[in-house]
Structure 1
C-alpha cells in the first residue's frame, strides 16, 4: 500500500504538469482590433487642440 502512495505523488504531478501545459499553450485571441482602436483613440486625442490656453 505504501508503494501505491509513493506512486500517486509523481503521477499526480505529471497530470498537473500536463494540464498546465495544455492551459498555457492554448490559442488566445490577439485582440488586435481592440489594440488598433485604442491606438486610433490615442492619436485622435493627441491631435486635438487643448480646450484651455497654455500658460
Structure 2
C-alpha cells in the first residue's frame, strides 16, 4: 500500500503540470490589443505636441529667444 501512495505523488505532479501548462498557454491577446491601442494614442499625442512646439518655435523671433535666455 505504501508503494501505491508513492505512485500518487508523480500522478498529482503530472496533473498539476497539466493545469499549469494550460493556464500558461492561455490566449492573452485581448489585453495586448488595448495596451497597443493606448500606446498608439500616446505616440500620436507626443507627435502632436512636438509639431506644436516646432510650429511655435518657427513663429517666434530669434530676439525673443535671446531675451528669454537671460543673455
Q: TM-score, normalising length from structure 1? A: 0.63
Moved over 6 A (4+): none
Q: Which runs of 5+ in 2 are unaligned?
A: 54-64
Q: Which runs of 5+ in 1 are unaligned?
A: none
Structure with greater helix percent: 2
Q: What is the Cα-based RMSD across aligned positions, in Å?
A: 2.5
Number of matched pairs: 52
State the alpha-carbon separation in 1 of the partners of residues 6 and 34 from structure 2.
50
1:20 aligns with 2:20: yes
Q: Match of 1:2?
A: 2
Structure with higher Rg: it is 2
User: 1:11 deviation in Å?
Assistant: 0.4
